Chain A
Amino acid sequence: MNITPLFIVLPLGGAFLTPLLGKRWKYFPGAACNIITFCMLCLSIAAVAMVYRYGIIMYRVGGWMPPVGIALVLDSLSAFMLVTVNLVAFIVAVYSIDYMKMYTARWNFYTLFLLMIAGMNGMIITGDLFNLFVFLEIASIASYALVAFGTEQEELEAAFKYAVMGSLASSLILLGIALLYGFTSTLNMADMAQIIAGRRGSQLLLFVSGLFIMGFGLKTALIPFHAWLPDAHPSAPAPISAMLSGVLIKTLGIYSLMRIFFSILGMTDAVLNILLALGAVSMAIGVFLAIGQWDFKRLLAYHSISQVGYVMLGIGLGTPLGILGGLFHLFNHSIFKSLLFLNSGAVVYATGTRDLRLMGGLKERMPVTAATSFIASMSISGVPPFNGFWSKLVIIVACVQGGRYGYAFLAALVSLITLASFMKVQRYAFYGRLGEKWRHAAEVPFSMRFAMIVMAAACLFGGALLLPSISAPFLKGAEEALLLGTGYAGRVMENLK
């Protein structure tokens, strides 16, 4: 049986059933969401194994033959992204069981959450450019609504800003797709790649590249396009912040950029240099904006900009090692940034504040939260032996190998500033004297603790992904899929016959 469509069908079906049954049975939404995300996590791990053994897996939607019909294409890059998204989604679903007790209308939350996952999974496995746009909009609109979920002043304002910027980005992307369709008369990615490869060097392709960099750059929040992120990500409920920072900006932005530039348009040195420069600028400016923040979640949001810069830097190098490092850092960042947002949620759950100056000494009252946040802080700062260290090391080594010593130095420097910034978080939130107000703050309930501990364990052992036997199907496979470039089209076409 072909498992490819299940990644869209399961969450979409869950999102359909939740509002129907959720009002009547109080426990249905949470239980359904947890079961579905767990199934998808298992399926995505199975997908990695299957792609490794059998090569690309295709599914023809409605039985129509591509390039006329829509195809779902599962290659090793898609499988890699699926594992990243569904791992974080499952952990966040477990965490939400207890965290969402703070809110009313929980079934709304689970519906939007499942829709967002359906959108992201759809984007990852689709082989059709317009279909990618549709799934992108499903995920985006669900995320606008989720940012506004608290319906307080700040949340609404942030959601409005995010929705306007996001719609602008979507319009630019749609314009790019329209121009590409006019140029190639097809929407199937593989077919499009073959036609473009036959007609190199058109001015139109340059313009389209610019549109895509702007559009997906806005969705990724690379530095000149970042204004919405520090408002939107902290305003959402903590589990959603973890999803937004952990996987949404990567799926909507980085994955689409990689897929479109490497597999369809064909990567050129000019685009690589632009990505490299954008990555380096985001990395450096993001961390400087972060260090002065006193709002816990806002600080984390600025660090997301900075860490995504690392991913872009690695991919922009264009060398096999650079891409491997970029992808590895993408995976690691989704783990430790989600964990940090879950920690911030736990602190909000216990104390009701996000201001670091008001906290202090929470280590005594909340040992699990403090310990896991310490592990995550060390991971994001690149301290050995945690996973962030290994991916940053790979990126820096790749920079040096490519002869880009300036970028290597910058990457190391930003890592140090990140460490300083997280020392501040640890110092103000968890160490120091216990504030009089928090003498009765209690550790968070079991499901939240469980989620944080699992993520912390993943941070601790994440470096093992570099071991040859584990990385061959997972990281190495994704890296090879990218390096294949427009050869992707040949593989897909071969599979169709």
Chain B
Amino acid sequence: MTVYLLCLILFLIGVYCILIKRNLIKIIIGLGIMEYGLFLFFVLVGYRMRGRAPILEPDQIIADMVDPLPQALVLTAIVIGLATTALLATLAMRLYEKYGTFDITQIRKLRG
């Protein structure tokens, strides 16, 4: 139970970061933290207490194995997260070139 709560706390720290922080880079980091909380939770969904890796060998019966599918899915999701983070970092760099600041309260050309 505790591990799930810790995942939730990590997720909420990320959401807090996105909503409260003014620095573009910190927002990107917040997004990363939120995603990692989520990925940890997803891996835990497939975890079993004292389970072992699902590697099948001949003449062996595996009683307790960890579900490998969430791990594969999380790997995919991490790659997607990488693409998003890279794109966001590029945008932040270009924004810094244009405005000379990372502060979102000063980057306000759009409104209404």
Determine whether the beta carbon of A163 is less than 8 Å from that of B99.
Answer: no
Does A156 touch B at the CB level, under 8 Å? yes
Measured CB to CB, the nearest residue on chain B to A182 is: B45
Q: Which residues of A (120-159) have their CB < 8 Å from a CB of B? A: 130, 133-134, 137, 141, 144-145, 148, 151-154, 156-159
- Which single member of A144, A175, A231, A298 contacts B87 (CB below 8 Å)? A144
Does A21 touch B at the CB level, under 8 Å? no
Question: How near does chain B come to A457, taking the closest CB pair, in angstroms?
Answer: 34
Residue among B15, B42, B92 having the largest count of chain A Cβ atoms under 10 Å: B42
Q: Which residues of B contact A156 (CB under 8 A)?
A: 91, 94-95, 98
* Binding stretch for chain B, among A9-17, A166-174, A254-262, A365-373: A166-174
Q: A157-B110, A163-B88 are in contact. Are A171 and B38 (CB under 8 A)?
A: yes
Q: Which residues of A (159-192) have their CB < 8 Å from a CB of B? A: 159-160, 163-164, 167-168, 170-171, 174-175, 178-179, 181-182, 185, 187
Determine whether the beta carbon of A157 is less than 8 Å from that of B80.
Answer: no
Determine whether the beta carbon of A148 is less than 8 Å from that of B91.
Answer: yes
Determine whether the beta carbon of A167 is less than 8 Å from that of B109.
Answer: no
Does A108 touch B at the CB level, under 8 Å? no
- Which single member of B67, B87, B107, B108 contacts A163 (CB below 8 Å)? B87
Question: How near does chain A come to B43, taking the closest CB pair, in angstroms?
Answer: 9
Determine whether the beta carbon of A175 is less than 8 Å from that of B110.
Answer: no
Determine whether the beta carbon of B45 is less than 8 Å from that of A171.
Answer: no
Q: Which residues of A contact B110 (CB under 8 A)?
A: 154, 157-158, 231, 235
Determine whether the beta carbon of B87 is less than 8 Å from that of A141.
Answer: yes
**Interface residues of B toward A: which range?**
20 to 34
Determine whether the beta carbon of B70 is less than 8 Å from that of A153.
Answer: no
Determine whether the beta carbon of A141 is less than 8 Å from that of B95.
Answer: no
How many Å lie between the Cα of A144 and that of B90 in the bound state?
12
Does B66 touch A at the CB level, under 8 Å? no
Does B83 touch A at the CB level, under 8 Å? yes
Does A319 touch B at the CB level, under 8 Å? no
Contact indicator per residue, chain B 82-111, by CB within 8 Å of chain A (1) or not (0): 011001100110110011000000011110
How many Å lie between the Cα of A134 and that of B91 in the bound state?
22
Q: A134-B80, A174-B77 are in contact. Are A160 and B88 (CB under 8 A)?
A: yes
Question: How near does chain B come to A199, taking the closest CB pair, in angstroms?
Answer: 17
Does A293 touch B at the CB level, under 8 Å? yes
Does B10 touch A at the CB level, under 8 Å? no
Determine whether the beta carbon of A151 is less than 8 Å from that of B112.
Answer: no
Determine whether the beta carbon of B38 is less than 8 Å from that of A160.
Answer: no
Determine whether the beta carbon of A137 is less than 8 Å from that of B80.
Answer: yes
Question: How near does chain A come to B74, taking the closest CB pair, in angstroms?
Answer: 9
- Which single member of B35, B76, B92, B112 contacts A171 (CB below 8 Å)? B35
How many Å lie between the Cα of A174 and that of B73 in the bound state?
10
Measured CB to CB, the nearest residue on chain A to B107 is: A157
Q: Which residues of A contact B76 (CB under 8 A)?
A: 130, 134
Determine whether the beta carbon of A178 is less than 8 Å from that of B45.
Answer: yes
How many Å lie between the Cα of A295 and that of B109 in the bound state?
14
Determine whether the beta carbon of A175 is less than 8 Å from that of B41.
Answer: yes
Residue among B15, B70, B76, B77 having the largest count of chain A Cβ atoms under 10 Å: B77
Residue among A157, A170, A187 having the largest count of chain B Cβ atoms under 10 Å: A157
Determine whether the beta carbon of A141 is less than 8 Å from that of B112.
Answer: no
Q: Which residues of B contact A168 (CB under 8 A)?
A: 15, 18, 31, 34
- Which single member of A160, A170, A171, A235 contacts B91 (CB below 8 Å)? A160
Determine whether the beta carbon of B18 is less than 8 Å from that of A178.
Answer: no
Q: Which residues of A contact B99 (CB under 8 A)?
A: 153
Q: Which residues of A contact B88 (CB under 8 A)?
A: 160, 163-164, 167
Q: Which residues of B contact A133 (CB under 8 A)?
A: 77
Determine whether the beta carbon of A159 is less than 8 Å from that of B91.
Answer: yes
Q: Which residues of A (70-129) have their CB < 8 Å from a CB of B? A: none
Q: List 23 A-B contacts (CB under 8 A).
A: A144-B84, A144-B91, A153-B98, A154-B109, A156-B91, A156-B94, A156-B98, A157-B107, A157-B109, A159-B91, A160-B24, A160-B91, A160-B92, A167-B35, A167-B84, A171-B34, A174-B42, A175-B41, A178-B38, A179-B45, A181-B73, A185-B67, A187-B69
Complex A-B, nearest 6 residue pairs according to Cβ-Cβ distance, in ascending order: A182-B45, A178-B42, A137-B80, A231-B110, A160-B91, A153-B98
Residues of B in contact with A (beta carbons under 8 Å apart): 15, 18, 24, 27, 31, 34-35, 38, 41-42, 45, 67, 69-70, 73, 76-77, 80, 83-84, 87-88, 91-92, 94-95, 98-99, 107-110, 112
User: Given contacts A137-B80, A144-B91, A164-B27, could you give 13 more A-B pairs where the C-beta distance is less than 8 Å?
Assistant: A134-B80, A141-B80, A156-B94, A156-B95, A167-B35, A167-B88, A170-B80, A171-B34, A178-B45, A178-B70, A181-B73, A231-B110, A235-B110
